[in-house]
Structure 1
Amino acid sequence: MVGRHKLNPERRETILLRLQELLMANSGENAYEEAFKIIVAKIFDEINVKNKKSKLFKNYKTPKETRENINKLLYMALENWPGSLEEGKTNLNDTHLDICVSEISNITLLDKNIEIIDDLFEYLVSSDSKGNKGQYFTPRSVIDFAVHLIDPKIHESIIDPSCGSGGFLVHSLNYIKEKNKNSYKNNVWGFDFDPRAVRIARTLLRISGIKNPNIYNVNSLINNKSLDFLIKTNKNCCLPASIESIMNVEFNQKSKFDVLFANPPFAGEIKEEHILNSYDISKEKSSIERDALFLERCINLLNPGGRFAIILPHNKLAGVAWKKLRIWLMRRVKLSLVVGLPRATFMPHTPQKTALVIGEKRRNNVSYPPKNEEIMFSICDKIGKDSSGRLIKKIDSDEFSSLWERSDHDLHEILYQYQNYLEKKEKI
C-alpha cells in the first residue's frame, strides 16, 4: 500500500504531489473542474490579500461557512476574470471542500514565478484528456529555450495558434517584461480547440498581468478559404469562428503576426473537405495529418520577415513521404536552426521524436532556396527528464527556481552556440 504524500511547504515537489493527490481525489463530481475551481479560488484570494483585502480562503467554524466563503471567491473570480470559470460555485460537498481548504490554505501558490500553478494546471489537463488528442504540454525548459532563441520584442505581435495552457505566451510576456523594466503590451494572442486549456491560458495570463487576455476557443485550421467554401456549398447555416474573423471583425486588426510559437497536435487526421481544399498541401486529398496542415497555417499567419519557433514530429523533417511538404516550406521560409529533441521530451505522455525548428518567413517566395543559405543543426542530449518523464535536477539546484534553471539539460549550451553562430554570420 502506497502512503499519501506528506506536504512540506519548503519543498516544491511535495507541494505538487500532495495537491495533485488531494484535488484529484474521488468526490463524485468532475475531478478536473472542481480541482480547477479550488486552485482559481486560492489564486484569486492571494491576489486580493496582496491588494490589502481580507483573506477568504481559509477554514471557518463550520464546513458550511467555509463553502459560503469559497463560493464568494469563485463568484468574484467569475465576474472579474470572464472566461476563466464556467460557474461561480463549487460542487464538492461541505466536508470534502473543508478538507481541501485546510490542506492548502497556508500555502502560497503565487511564488516568485507562476510555475507551480502552471504545473498543477498541466497535470490536471493531461490527466483528464489532453494526451488522448495527441496534444501535450510543452516542457517549460523547452519553452524558455524557444523564447530566448526568438528574442521577442515589446512592439511585436505574438501568436500561438495551438496555445494549450498558454506556456509560450506567458513566458514570452515575462521575457519582454524582464527586458523592458516590467513594461509590456497586450499584444499576445492565443487560439486553441480545447475549451479547458483556453480557460487555463486565460487564467495564467491574468496572473501574469494581462487584464483582458486575447485567448480564444477556435479551430485554428479554419481560415477564410474554408469559410468561403462552406458558403459556396450552402453549409453556412452556422459558420464557425476563425482567427481571421476574430482579428478582423472584433478587433479591426490584421491577422498577420510578427512572432509565432507553436507545438501543434501530433496526432489525428483532417478529413473535412472545406479545410482540405483551403490548403496548398492538401488540395485534392481525402485526408492529411493534422500537424502538416498546422505547419502551413503557421507560416501563413506570419508577416513577411516574421520569426517562428515550431515543434514538429521528426517524420515531417526527415520522412520520405513528406518531401513535398519540406519543399513547400523551404520556398517560403528561411530556416536558421533545427534542434533534435530526445524521446523523453514529452514523457510520460509520449516518446514521440521531435525537433524544434527556428526560422523566418521570406519576404518573397523563391523557386528553390539559395545555395549559400546555412542552417545550424544541433542535437539536445539532455532534456532534464529520464525515460519515464521524471525530472532530473541539477546538483544543489534551488527548489523554487525556474525549471530552466533547475533541470539538468544542455539547452543552455545550444543557445550559446546559436547566439555565437548568428554573431559570426553578421560579421561576414
Structure 2
Amino acid sequence: MAEQSQRGREAGEAKAHLGSIGEGSASRRSHFDARIASSSPAMAPWRISSYFMAKRHRPGRGAARLFAHVEDVLVAATGEDAFEIVFAVAAALLLDRTRRDIAVRIAAVARSHRALDVKAPRRTPGELLERVAGLIAKAVSSAPSELEALDAIFEALVPRVAKSDKGQFFTPRHVVDFVVTALDVRAGERVADPSCGSGAFLSRAWREPRVQGEGVDIDARAVRVARLLACAAGRGPECVTLGDGLRRGDVASFDVIATNPPFAGASPPLGFEVERVVRRPERDALFLERALTLLVPGGRLGIVLPYNKVSADAFAPLRAWLVARARVLAVVALPRETFLPHTAQRTVALFAKKRARPLADGERPDERVWLGVSERSGKASSGEPLALPLAHDLGEVLSELAPFLAREGFSR
C-alpha cells in the first residue's frame, strides 16, 4: 500500500483510475468520490489537460435563444402555438425535400405521416412560415449537426417549467454521442430507452445498420419530436410510444439500454425491488431497475444518473443492489454545467453489463471499474452551448475509456 500511495502522489491530480469492486469503504479519488468502487488501489492514472477559453471566443446568439425569440414573435403575430408552427415547418423540411412552397409541404407531410400529428397553421401567413423555415435552415447550418440544431430548437420551445418539475432535461448531443459510442451499438441489435424524451439516444443508435430502437415517454410533445426523428432516420413512428416507461410490462429482450431518466420526484409504489432497498426512491432509481429488467443477460447499459447515487452514504444499499445484478464497468463524472440552464445538479454516466444471475449473498467477485472525470462541459456558465472544437472533452475521455471496455469484453 505504501508503494501504491507513493505512485498515487507522483501521479499528481489524476482524473481517472482503474479500481476494483470489493470489500471496504470508499476513498476519495481526485475530484470524484466514486463510492461504487471500494478500497482497491488506484492503477494507471491519467490526466485530462485543462482548457481555458479566451473571452473573445464566448458564443453568440445560439439556436435556443433564437427560437425563444421566434416563439415570442409567433405568438404576438398569430396567436398560434409556436411549438406547433415550428414542429410543422421542421417536419416539412425533414420529410419533404422538394422545393415546393413550405405550406404545401406541411400539408403533404400532415397527410403522409399522420402519427406525427402535424397541425397545419391556420392563421400564420406563408411569408412567416418561410421565414421560420429560413431560421431553422440557418440554425442547422451553424450547428455541428442537423440533430443538434433540432435539439436546441425544441428545447427552447418545450415549456421549461413543466420539464423541470418532472426532472426531465434535454441531454446535450455530445453526451448522447459519448454514451452511445461507449456502448458500441452493433448492427442488428435491439436498443431501448424507457424514458426517451425527444429520442436523442435512439436517433444516435439508428445510425448503425439494422438497429431496432424502441422508446417510450410520458410527455406527448417529446414523443412527437422523437417520432419525427425516427421518420427522418427511416424508421417508423410506431417505435416510439406515449406512456409511462415505469408501468409497461415489457420482458427482457433488449441488447442495449441507453437512457437519461428523470431525476426528481417520487413515484407511487409500483412493486420494484429498489422500493425495498431505498426509502422513497426517486424515479431515477426506479428507471435504473427498469433498465436492467429490460436487458437480456449480458446486455449493456449506459445511463445518466445523479452524482449522489454513486457517492452518498444514503444510497449505499442501492449501489450494493446494482452491483449484485450488473457488472459495473465505468463511471464518468460530468461537469455541473452539463444540464444548464435548467439545473446545476452533478451527474455521472454509468456503464454496466447485466449479469446472467444476481450474485449470492457474500459473493464478491474481483472486478475492475474505470472512474473518470469530464472537466469541459461544452457549455458556458450561462448554459449556452459552445461552438468550439475543444468545448468539451468527452472525446478525450472516450479515447481512454474505450480500450478498457474492450479489454473487459463490454465492447469490441
| TM-score, scaled relative to structure 2 | 0.76
Q: Aligned partners of 2:89, 2:121: CA distance in 1, in Å?
A: 10
Q: Which amino acid aligns with 2:384?
A: R
Give the match for residue 141 of structure 1: 174
Q: Which amino acid aligns with 2:100?
A: K
Q: Aligned partners of 2:147, 2:101: CA distance in 1, in Å?
A: 21
Distance 1:170 1:31, change over 3 A: farther
Cα offset, 1:289, TM superposition = 1.5
Give the match for residue 260 of structure 2: 263
Q: Aligned partners of 1:203, 1:260: CA distance in 2, in Å?
A: 21
Contact preservation (8 Å) 2:63, 2:152: no
Q: Which amino acid aligns with 1:293?
A: L
Give the match for residue 284 of structure 2: 291
Distance 1:126 1:343, change over 3 A: farther
Give the match for residue 401 of structure 2: 418
SS of 1:83's equivalent in the other structure is helix
Once the two structures are superposed, residues 180-199 of structure 1 have per-residue CA deviations (whole angstroms, 9 ceiling, x without a partner) of xxx334x1000111111000
Match of 1:81 among 90, 106, 113: 113
Alignment partner of 1:281 is 2:274: yes
Contact preservation (8 Å) 1:34, 1:90: no
Match of 2:210 among 162, 169, 184: 184
Q: Which amino acid aligns with 1:408?
A: A
Cα offset, 1:80, TM superposition = 1.9
Distance 1:19 1:285, change over 3 A: closer
User: Which runs of 5 or more structure 2 residues have no equivalent in the other structure?
Assistant: 1-58
Q: Which amino acid aligns with 2:230?
A: L
Contact preservation (8 Å) 1:161, 1:262: yes
Give the match for residue 323 of structure 1: 316
Give the match for residue 108 of structure 1: 137
Once the two structures are superposed, residues 140-165 of structure 1 have per-residue CA deviations (whole angstroms, 9 ceiling, x without a partner) of 11110001100101111000001000
SS of 1:374's equivalent in the other structure is strand
Once the two structures are superposed, residues 110-135 of structure 1 have per-residue CA deviations (whole angstroms, 9 ceiling, x without a partner) of 76633222221122125463222110
Q: Aligned partners of 1:107, 1:123: CA distance in 2, in Å?
A: 13
Give the match for residue 196 of structure 1: 221
Q: Which amino acid aligns with 1:418?
A: L
Give the match for residue 347 of structure 2: 354
Q: Which amino acid aligns with 1:265?
A: P
Where in structure 2 are the equivalents of 1:5-44 lying within 5 Å?
17-25=65-73, 27=75, 33-44=81-92
Distance 1:128 1:286, change over 3 A: closer
Q: Aligned partners of 2:332, 2:204: CA distance in 1, in Å?
A: 20
Q: Aligned partners of 1:255, 1:83: CA distance in 2, in Å?
A: 27
Q: Which amino acid aligns with 2:110?
A: L
Instruction: Give the length in aligned residue pairs.
Output: 346
| TM-score, scaled relative to structure 1 | 0.73
Cα offset, 1:103, TM superposition = 5.0
Distance 1:327 1:83, change over 3 A: same
Once the two structures are superposed, residues 211-262 of structure 1 have per-residue CA deviations (whole angstroms, 9 ceiling, x without a partner) of 344000111111xxxxxxxxxxxxxxxxxxx253xxxxxxxxx552110011
Cα offset, 1:328, TM superposition = 0.8
Alignment partner of 1:157 is 2:182: no
Q: Aligned partners of 2:315, 2:136: CA distance in 1, in Å?
A: 50
Give the match for residue 98 of structure 1: 127
Contact preservation (8 Å) 2:326, 2:355: yes
Alignment partner of 1:373 is 2:367: yes
Give the match for residue 233 of structure 1: none
What root-mean-square deviation, in Å, do the aligned CA atoms of Structure 1 and Structure 2 show?
2.9
Contact preservation (8 Å) 1:24, 1:35: no
Contact preservation (8 Å) 2:172, 2:339: yes
Cα offset, 1:420, TM superposition = 2.7
Cα offset, 1:78, TM superposition = 2.7
Give the match for residue 52 of structure 2: none
Q: Which amino acid aligns with 2:214?
A: W
Identity %: 30
Distance 1:45 1:321, change over 3 A: closer
Q: Aligned partners of 2:203, 2:338: CA distance in 1, in Å?
A: 20
Give the match for residue 3 of structure 2: none
Contact preservation (8 Å) 1:134, 1:268: yes
User: Which runs of 5 or more structure 1 residues have no equivalent in the other structure?
Assistant: 1-10, 58-69, 177-182, 223-241, 245-253, 395-405
More displaced 10-residue stretch of structure 1: 208-217 or 410-419: 208-217
Q: Which amino acid aligns with 1:90?
A: P
Cα offset, 1:13, TM superposition = 5.5
Q: Aligned partners of 1:166, 1:329: CA distance in 2, in Å?
A: 26
Q: Aligned partners of 1:334, 1:425: CA distance in 2, in Å?
A: 10
Q: Which amino acid aligns with 1:173?
A: W
Q: Which amino acid aligns with 1:108?
A: A
The answer to which structure, 1 or 2, has the higher relative contact order (CA under 8 A, 6+ apart) is 2
